[in-house]
């Protein structure tokens, strides 16, 4: 990544103080970085509530976008997602605008922070895919009472996040990467991450690679979190397990994060703007301070980063000043006094609490072409037609067998929310008015044509309301669709 270096030889960073407690915690991190003498210069910009209130619906002004395009590195405070004016989260807008596809969340036990896991040595990193999955937010009402959300997972997205996880593990000399998926159920989407992980892991023989099912991962994280070093996972799973993991080490006050892309990286605390504490000078700034440590490493400022991390560890270990989230807000020290203490501890090291050795992170280079995979052979072997109907499966089945007669298709089955209901299997299924009719080609060797699909849809629409259509693909001989529950 090419950073912007100013005429005075400093690396320029876009600084977004943010909303609520944002300005207080960001100011704390800024003061500490400046006290190390690191060669950083700030370009302060706005985003979030103030911008929404000025009437800019994205919450991200053009000046901020231009600044980030120039600096490629952002340290930001939390941004409020307002209700009532402006609908989209400015955070998500920033992450998407700059394609920061990897969300890295370190979770480490901190000295002097009371938790049920104290002394267990938790030190793990969740690497969460940040762009795809259900978070793409592609949703449709299928019938007035049935909603659909598309879970889109790409091979390219998987390859980027898997490589990032292994590269991150290497940069921190970690020995093990777990890939956590729900591929036992979602064989194509979640399975894509698992298969990519298994393939790419061969390029990293120095790192032990294991797959774990996400629900067991959540269970194991609560039971024996110290077994994990790096966990790579899809967006939705990552959202849940990274919050779970943060809670193991003391909560949001101690949870830093980095949003990494090929071109831009955004560093921020995991927490939000905590409006009830805004302006009170009581909030714990550690999360954003540790995010700024990640930022300094990203910028190659390893000495300053280690110095700050050591000073945080020493300050917490000494326990002379502690913030309200740790000891109660009636006894906690102020944000500024806590910051002063960290500054006074710069240059000190704990005998017990060590900073990991870090090497520069090699950002993975995945080809930019959109497809990434080129199969030798593909064909369409049928079509699923989803429809809205108040009829039951015993009425729909014969009707669709009749519709299919005289076409190049036959009706293989009808399902309701993924369970086969026709031909009947004697199961008890509580059906809704959204049906999937699976039509399979009568001429298996030839690919189904678009014209044949359109003709079938025309016949269906003379009697029924179809709501969407999916082609059934076979790619290099493998089924490109899943079977229904109960389908042979
Ligand atoms: P929040 O701001 O994270 O606050 C929830 C609670 O977490 C606080 O009440 C406090 O708990 C604790 N907390 C947060 N930051 C802390 C810190 N630095 N030190 C100690 N404790 C801390 O979540 P929210 O109230 O759900 O969201 C408020 C706003 O922030 C919303 O507009 C939301 O959209 C936005 N948000 C932004 C981001 C982001 O910019 N990345 C992330 C999340 C949320 P106690 O009440 O127990 O003291």
Q: How far apart are CA 396 and CA 398, in angstroms?
A: 6
Q: What pLDDT sits at residue 83?
A: 66
Question: What residues contact 130, with CB distance under 8 A and at least 6 apart?
Answer: 95, 100, 101, 102, 103, 235, 259
Q: What pLDDT sits at residue 93?
A: 85
**Ligand 1 geometric centre to CA of 315 (Å):** 23
Q: Which of 63, 215, 371, 392 is catalytic?
A: 215
Token readout for 62 is 């053009």
Active site residue 430: no
Q: Which atom in ligand 1 lies closest to the alpha carbon of residue 18? A: 40
| Inter-residue contact 267 to 294 (CB < 8 Å) | yes
Q: Which atom in ligand 1 lies closest to the alpha carbon of residue 324? A: 20
**Ligand 1, from 82, 271, 334: best to mutate by most atoms within 8 Å of Cβ?**
271
Token readout for 187 is 């064989």
| Inter-residue contact 193 to 162 (CB < 8 Å) | yes
265-269 sheet: strands from edge to edge:
40-44, 11-16, 73-76, 265-269, 256-260, 102-108, 123-129, 230-233, 176-181, 208-213
Q: Is 157 in the pocket of ligand 1 (CB under 6 A)?
A: no
Return the residue whose CA atom lies nearest to atom 45 of ligand 1.
325
**Ligand 1 geometric centre to CA of 272 (Å):** 4
3-state secondary structure of 419: strand
Q: What pLDDT sits at residue 92?
A: 82
Please name which of 227, 383, 277 lies closest in space to residue 23, comparing C-alpha atoms.
277
3-state secondary structure of 15: strand
Q: Which atom in ligand 1 lies closest to the alpha carbon of residue 89? A: 34
Q: Which of 101, 135, 277, 464 is catalytic?
A: 135
Kindly provide the b/e burial profile for residues 417-427, where b requires at least 16 CB atoms within 10 angstroms of the residue's own CB: eebbbbeeeee
Active site residue 182: yes
Q: What pLDDT sits at residue 84?
A: 58
Q: Which fold has domain 11-344?
A: Isopropylmalate Dehydrogenase (3.40.718)
Secondary-structure class of domain 378-479 per CATH: alpha beta
Active site residue 88: no
Q: What pLDDT sits at residue 351?
A: 93
**Ligand 1 geometric centre to CA of 20 (Å):** 9
What is the full per-residue pLDDT of the chain (488 aa) written as tens digits?
789 999 999 999 999 999 999 999 999 999 999 999 999 999 999 999 999 888 888 899 999 999 999 999 999 999 998 665 556 788 888 888 899 999 999 999 999 999 999 999 999 999 999 999 998 889 999 999 999 999 999 999 999 999 999 999 999 999 999 999 999 999 999 999 999 999 999 999 999 999 999 999 999 999 999 999 999 999 999 999 999 999 999 989 999 999 999 999 999 999 999 999 999 999 999 999 999 999 999 999 999 999 999 999 999 999 999 999 999 999 999 999 999 999 999 999 999 999 999 999 999 988 888 888 889 999 999 999 999 999 999 999 999 999 999 999 999 999 999 999 999 987 788 999 999 999 999 998 899 999 999 999 999 999 999 999 999 999 999 999 998 777 77
Return the residue whose CA atom lies nearest to atom 47 of ligand 1.
325
Q: Is 274 in the pocket of ligand 1 (CB under 6 A)?
A: yes
**Ligand 1, from 256, 272, 316: best to mutate by most atoms within 8 Å of Cβ?**
272
Q: Where are the domains of the chain?
A: 11-344, 378-479
3-state helix, strand, coil in the chain (%, to 5): 35, 25, 40
**Ligand 1, from 252, 268, 316, 338: best to mutate by most atoms within 8 Å of Cβ?**
252
**Ligand 1, from 81, 110, 243, 274: best to mutate by most atoms within 8 Å of Cβ?**
274
Q: What is the pTM of this model?
A: 0.94
Question: What residues contact 316, with CB distance under 8 A and at least 6 apart?
Answer: 110, 111, 112, 113, 286, 322
Q: Is 190 in the pocket of ligand 1 (CB under 6 A)?
A: no
| Inter-residue contact 41 to 26 (CB < 8 Å) | no
Q: Which of 19, 43, 133, 239 is catalytic?
A: 239
Q: What pLDDT sits at residue 234?
A: 98
3-state secondary structure of 74: strand
| Inter-residue contact 153 to 208 (CB < 8 Å) | no
**Ligand 1 geometric centre to CA of 274 (Å):** 4
Q: Is 271 in the pocket of ligand 1 (CB under 6 A)?
A: yes
């Amino acid at each position: 990544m090419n950073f912007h270096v100013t005429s005075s030889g400093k690396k320029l960073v876009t600084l977004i103080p943010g909303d609520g407690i944002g300005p207080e915690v960001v100011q704390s991190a800024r003061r500490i970085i400046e006290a190390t003498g690191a060669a950083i210069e700030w370009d302060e910009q706005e985003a979030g509530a103030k911008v929404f209130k000025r009437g800019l619906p994205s919450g991200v002004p053009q000046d901020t976008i231009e600044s980030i395009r120039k600096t490629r590195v952002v340290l930001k405070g939390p941004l409020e997602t307002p209700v009532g004016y402006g609908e989209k989260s400015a955070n998500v807008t920033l992450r998407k605008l700059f394609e920061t596809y990897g969300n890295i969340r370190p979770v480490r036990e901190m000295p002097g922070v009371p938790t049920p896991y104290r002394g267990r040595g938790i030190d793990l990193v969740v690497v969460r895919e940040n762009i795809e999955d259900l978070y793409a937010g592609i949703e449709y009402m299928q019938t007035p009472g049935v909603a659909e959300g598309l879970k889109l997972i790409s091979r390219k997205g998987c390859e980027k996040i898997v490589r990032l996880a292994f590269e991150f593990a290497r940069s921190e000399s970690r020995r093990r990467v777990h890939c956590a998926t729900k591929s036992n159920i979602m064989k194509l989407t979640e399975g894509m991450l698992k298969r990519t992980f298994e393939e790419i892991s061969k390029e990293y023989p120095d790192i032990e690679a294991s797959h774990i099912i996400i629900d067991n991962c959540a269970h194991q994280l609560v039971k024996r979190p110290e077994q994990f070093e790096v966990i790579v996972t899809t967006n939705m799973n990552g959202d849940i397990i990274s919050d779970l993991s943060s809670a193991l080490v003391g909560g949001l006050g101690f949870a830093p994060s980095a949003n990494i892309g090929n071109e831009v990286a955004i560093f921020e605390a995991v927490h939000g703007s905590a409006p009830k504490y805004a302006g009170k000078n009581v909030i714990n700034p550690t999360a954003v301070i540790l995010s700024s440590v990640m930022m300094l490493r990203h910028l190659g400022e390893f000495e300053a980063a280690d110095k700050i991390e050591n000073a945080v560890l020493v300050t917490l270990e000494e326990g002379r000043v502690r913030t309200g989230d740790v000891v109660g807000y009636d006894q906690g020290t102020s944000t500024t006094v806590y910051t002063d203490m960290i500054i006074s501890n710069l240059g000190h090291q704990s005998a017990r609490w060590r900073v990991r050795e870090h090497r520069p992170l090699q950002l993975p280079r995945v080809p930019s072409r959109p497809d990434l995979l080129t199969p030798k052979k593909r064909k369409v072997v049928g079509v699923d037609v989803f429809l809205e109907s108040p009829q039951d499966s015993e009425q729909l089945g014969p009707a669709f067998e009749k519709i299919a007669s005289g076409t190049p298709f036959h009706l293989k089955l009808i399902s309701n929310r993924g369970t086969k209901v026709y031909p009947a299997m004697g199961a008890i299924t509580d059906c809704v008015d959204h049906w999937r009719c699976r039509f399979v080609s009568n001429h298996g060797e030839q690919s189904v044509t678009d014209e044949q699909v359109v003709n079938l849809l025309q016949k269906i629409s003379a009697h029924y309301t179809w709501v969407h259509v999916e082609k059934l693909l076979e790619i290099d001989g493998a089924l490109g669709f899943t079977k229904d529950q109960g389908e042979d």
